[in-house]
Amino acid sequence: MGGAPDTPAGVYAWQGLKAGAAKGGAAAMLACSTTQVVPDGYVSVPKVVEFPCPLGTAYGYYYPPANAECASSEAAPPLLVKAHGGPTGATSNGFNPSIQYFTSRGFAVLDVDYGGSPGPEPYRTRTLTLTTDPDPDPDPDPDPDPNPNPNPNPNP
């Protein structure tokens, strides 16, 4: 099983591990998940991006617009942000026709692999680290009560 950002998933045969086989040889496709072929110039290949979030760093795949017949003078294309289902889901950079549909029509897509997913750093690991780290300010009473009188009534 295999695929790539610009190739639909399929079943491949690869002879690269056989004795005497040429190293780095190409895999031969035996079967493909689709018969549709996307023409050159219309497939957007993603770039890995990372950005800060409340629990550290979040990751995703940025797909720029890709259309061989069109161009834009805009500083930035319209952006669609996609979040995968969770909590155990994750995104990948495999060929995704729904993303390619939008990028071929001038949209950029950010496919976010957010903190709840089992990606590079699982949510539970980061949460556990945040809750078990010692307090950076060890002062037991950082904000003392300015009124030490325990009686709230000023006229006893």
- Could you read off the pLDDT tens digit of each residue along the chain, which spans 156 residues? 777 777 778 888 877 766 666 666 777 888 887 777 778 888 999 999 998 887 778 889 999 999 988 877 778 899 999 987 666 667 788 888 889 999 999 999 999 886 554 455 555 555 555 555 555 555 555 555 555 555 555 565
d(CA 40, CA 68): 8
What pLDDT is attached to residue 68?
A: 87
d(CA 76, CA 125): 35
Sheet holding 56-63, edge to edge: 47-53, 56-63, 108-113, 79-83
What pLDDT is attached to residue 31?
A: 87
What pLDDT is attached to residue 125?
A: 55
What pLDDT is attached to residue 117?
A: 47
What pLDDT is attached to residue 138?
A: 52
What pLDDT is attached to residue 121?
A: 53
Cis ω before 87 (30° cut-off from 0)? yes
What pLDDT is attached to residue 24?
A: 63
Structure tokens belonging to residue 99? 């993303």
What pLDDT is attached to residue 122?
A: 52
pTM for the whole structure:
0.62
